[in-house]
Amino acid sequence: MKNPLAQIPDFGQSIWLDYIRRSFISSGELKKLIDEDDLRGVTSNPAIFEEAIAHSDDYNDTINELAKTDLSTEEIFLKLAVEDVQNAADLFKGVYEKTDALDGYVSLEVSPGLAKDTEGSIAEARSSWKTLDRKNVMIKIPGTEEGIPAIKELISEGININVTLLFGLERYRAVAEAYVEGLEARLAKGESIEHVASVASFFLSRIDTMLDPQLEEIIKTDSNRATPAKQLLGKVAIASARVAYHIYKEVFKSERFKALEAKGAKPQRLLWASTSVKNKAYDPLMYLEALIGPETVDTVPKDTLALYRENGHPADRLEQELEEAQYQLYQLEDVVGIKLLDVTKKLEEEGIEKFIKPFGSLMDVLAKKRQEAAV
Active-site positions read 140
- Rounded to whole angstroms, what are the CA distances from 133 to 153, 257, 281, 305? 19, 29, 44, 29
Which run of H or of E encompasses 252? helix 236-252
Residue 11 one-letter amino acid: F
d(CA 344, CA 271): 17
Going by their DSSP bridges, the two strands 269-273 and 198-203 should be labelled as: parallel
C-alpha distances (whole Å) from 218 to each of 100, 209, 225, 328, 346 are: 50, 15, 7, 16, 19
Please state, in angstroms and rounded to a whole number, the distance separating the CA atoms of residues 198 and 200: 7
Residues forming beta bridges with residue 198, ordered by sequence position: 161
Under a CB-based contact definition with an 8 Å cutoff, are residues 161 and 176 in contact?
no
Q: Is 32 exposed, middle or buried (0-12, 13-18, 19+ CB in 10 A)?
A: exposed
Q: What is the rounded CA–CA span in Å between residue 166 and residue 175?
A: 9
Query: φ, ψ for residue 102 (rounded to 5)?
Result: -80, -40
Distance CA 269, CA 138 (A): 13
Query: What is d(CA 122, CA 8) in angstroms, rounded to the nearest whole number?
Result: 34
Backbone angles phi, psi at 143, to 5 degrees: -80, 45
Say how far apart CA 71 and CA 220 lie, in whole Å: 56
- Residue 182 zone, left/alpha/beta (φ > 0; ψ -120 to 50; rest): alpha
Torsion of CA 189, 96, 262, 172, to 10 degrees: -80
Query: Distance between CA 106 and CA 129 in Å, rounded?
Result: 12
Pairing verdict, β 296-300 and 269-273: parallel
